[in-house]
Amino acid sequence: MSGNEAPKRPKLILAGNGMAGVGTLEQILKLTGAYDITVYGAEPHPNYNRIQLSYVLEGSKTFDEIVLNDRDWYREHGIRLHTGTKVTRIDTESKKVITETGDAESYDKLIIATGSKPFFLPVPGHDKNGVIGFRDIADCETMIAASRTKKKAAVIGGGLLGLEAAKGLVQLGMETTVVHLFESLMERQLDEVSAGMLKAELERQGIQFAMGKKTVELTGGAEVEGLRFEDGTELPADLVVMAAGIVPNTDVAKASGIDCRRGIVVDDYMRTSAPDVYAVGECCEHRGVCYGLVAPLFEQGGVLAHEIAGLDPAPYMGSSVATKLKISGVDVFSGGVYAETAEHRVLRNHDDWRGTYKKVLLKDGRIVGAVLYGDVTDSSVLTRLVRDQAVMTDELYGQLFGRGGCCSEGKASIGVEAMADDEIVCGCNGVAKGTIVQGIREQGWSTVEQIKVCTGATRSCGGCKPMVEQLLQLTLGDSYDGTAAAKAGICGCTSLSRDEIVASIQEMGLASVREVMNVLGWSQPEGCSKCRPAINYYLGMLRPLEHRDEKDSRFVNERLHANIQKDSTFSVIPRMYGGVTSPEELRKIADIADKYAVKMVKVTGGQRLDLLGVKKEDLPSIWADLGMPSGYGYAKALRTVKTCVGSRFCRFGTQDSIAMGIDLERRFERLWMPAKFKMAVNGCPRNCAESGIKDLGIIGNDGGWEVFVGGNGGIKLRAGDSLCKVKTDEELVLICSGFIQYYRETANYGERTSEWVERIGLETIRQAIVEDKDNCAALAARVEQALAALHDPWQEAVENGELRRQLYEPVQAGATNE
């Protein structure tokens, strides 16, 4: 390998281009950029939403509208996509996949996500022309074409797939009959009452039913002409759709000697019996269970993504069987036990006028199952209650059924406002209420579309859309108009945007927080906890030499140089440059922990030591005794520079990551930023310091350094984007300086780099920093000016008694205490 060549990344191959596999890839990309990824898909299409095939069949959506990841998405993420190419065998010894054309490709890690196949009844005639399954877009196209010339359709199977296929065929103008072995539809999810209501509704929609019928033969010549049943009766049909179930597609695993039972056997980390081979989705079997619903597949994908990224995930323990479905326009929910026996106590509400039904089953006073039909508002709450087997109480009964017990009117609300923050709104993508509410409040999400793009909620089946809309209404109140958010200022004190405020400060020569609020006409003369820190930051960023930091516009953590905890004690984090310490430093920290009765000493994710449980009155003394700079664990500034041991010790290291990490941390410490800022430096592409999920991540290789930006390892996981590669340490420092200053000058206050990069675009950043070298040099000069003007507020506070004064003197009016 030449010195200018980037080292090869480990190769990850995905066999299967469906929702489970690509959903896993999406999560991997948020966690790490370490892999060179190739995807093989048997279909000639990019990844699409199979849940919405029925909409394509009935004509309410086009195929393009159900595509989840178009071909541009693969290109943008550097993924090689081979459509119309099936992997038929895996050589687990040499670690290669072999395709149906005989091509072979090596892998370091392999994910099998081949999904499932429709189950064809093994009856005579099942292979006739006109007999098809309902599993992919090709099946939809076949049915649409058939409807132009054929008149009578039979759908074998009264489950979800069969009913959706039947509804689509009716919409296409075909006379359609659902043939079902049992006397009740969806017998694995619904009881007789709810199944009867569903059947009556579907009959009103034009679907016919042949219940309790066992098909023994498909009649006709080369073309199918009808079905013959066990009782001797027949049903004419020139199109037969097999929707009697699905079977895991284990073909490639079986051909490769990988352990299979009903599905590909996986452990709690989605590992198969073959080394470095994983399976996810409908093709796999976990603890004896194969799942055919979307939500468990995304839960599996989350565990697998963390496993692939080397992030030590919690094991996959299986998924709840609760399901919320929309069948031909009718909402249905089923969770836990649905059919009562003598050991159950049954609570039910059946309203024929409104077409709603609710049943809750108790065992020994605990909620063990529920069925909802027509109105599934309480489905999220019931999912939790069934999962926890909650004890039924009078209060809970009143919430679920109303105090009178005969109808739900007037019942205490258990809608979205009563949901806990950790309750799941979108089961398909695992999005919790708290994530959506936080995004609405902190990121300014104001439409369902924004929430879909940022979280994935509503993206798959769409069943959670009403709840997402309710959360928007609940959180935004009267300002929510159901379309788009009106123009809003940085807070409720002003209608001015960030850019308008910054421009006014520059043009008018405004010099203080109070002056800005006064001149620009703040509605609240003292401002608020959102705008005061923002203005203070903008002033310091624009006028580093003139502006004196206004402490009453800082949060309490920043004023006291420690993080306040839930018990009102504080967390003290001394800085350890690059995560490196010494025996002397460790002894000092241990002695101080004893002296001040520290409750816990915790190693942080940023490779430092956190002293937890420090009393407020001890803060000045503990900082003085430590004699170490603050790690700024509380600040909108550089928090940490995480490093691996690099070329100094590691046999894989190609660059001195420790030296570079310490240099960067010492260079940029104490520099205020729009939001907290984390860095990492790796000595090789193995990425032990997790550079791919940092605001600014650096990975060493034989030819120099690669710079990644905009990563985030927090609530909104995001893989960093590759900004550029440089050959020398000097070039690296210049790029880092330019990036940091460009972020400081253009980001909104409180906006992490992950959000900023998405908002202004990677190409804009690359143009300003990498391609325009003069501009980068000017940015670096401005950051140096800001650094030169810095005084150390932590050191000043300790040495001149400022910290002690801040502990005991009243906070000035308008100061920020959050």
H-helix segments, 231-314 = 251-255, 294-308
CB neighbours of 646 closer than 8 A, spacing ≥ 6?
A: 653, 655, 656, 657, 658, 659, 681, 682, 683, 684, 700
Q: How many CB atoms lie within 10 A of CB 374?
A: 18
H-helix segments, 5-155 = 19-31, 53-58, 63-66, 71-76, 137-146
Is residue 3 packed enough to be buried (19+ CB in 10 Å), middle (13-18) or exposed (0-12)? exposed
Whole-number Å distance between alpha carbons of 619 and 782: 34
Q: Measure Cα distances from 567 to 86, 518, 554, 574, 620 in Å.
A: 58, 38, 21, 21, 19
| CA 162 centroid distance within chain | 31
In a 13 Å sphere around the CA of 652, the CA atoms on its Cβ side amount to 12
Q: Tokens 């091509």 map to which residue?
A: 103
Phi, psi (deg, nearest 5) at residue 89: -155, 150
Of the candidates 740, 749, 743, the one whose C-alpha atom is nearest the C-alpha of residue 816 is 749
Of the candidates 199, 236, 240, the one whose C-alpha atom is nearest the C-alpha of residue 328 is 199
Q: How many CB atoms lie within 10 A of CB 772?
A: 14
Phi, psi (deg, nearest 5) at residue 457: -60, 140
Whole-number Å distance between alpha carbons of 433 and 213: 44
In a 13 Å sphere around the CA of 789, the CA atoms on its Cβ side amount to 17
Of the candidates 58, 62, 50, the one whose C-alpha atom is nearest the C-alpha of residue 169 is 58
Tell whether 454 is in a known binding site.
no
Tell whether 284 is in a known binding site.
no
Tell whether 736 is in a known binding site.
no
Could you tell me how many helices (H) and strands (E) the chain has, helices first?
27, 38
Whole-number Å distance between alpha carbons of 467 and 427: 12
First to last CA, the chain: 54
Whole-number Å distance between alpha carbons of 589 and 626: 7
- For the record, the structure tokens of 150 come out as 């054929």
Q: Measure Cα distances from 662 to 622, 636, 641, 669, 684 in Å.
A: 24, 20, 7, 10, 17
Of the candidates 550, 818, 725, the one whose C-alpha atom is nearest the C-alpha of residue 3 is 725
Q: What's the longest Cα–Cα distance across the chain? A: 99
Per-residue DSSP letter, 578 = G
Residue 722 host element (H or E): strand 721-726
- For the record, the structure tokens of 633 come out as 């664990």
CB neighbours of 364 closer than 8 A, spacing ≥ 6?
A: none
Q: Tokens 């993504």 map to which residue?
A: 305
Q: Which residues of 79-117 are buried (b: 16+ CB within 10 A; e: fewer)?
A: bebbbebbbbbbebeebbbbbeeeeebebebbbbbbbbb
Please say whether the beta carbons of 90 and 48 come within 8 A: no
Residue numbers in the known binding site for siroheme are 688
Residue numbers in the known binding site are 644, 650, 684, 688
Residue numbers in the known binding site for [4Fe-4S] cluster are 644, 650, 684, 688
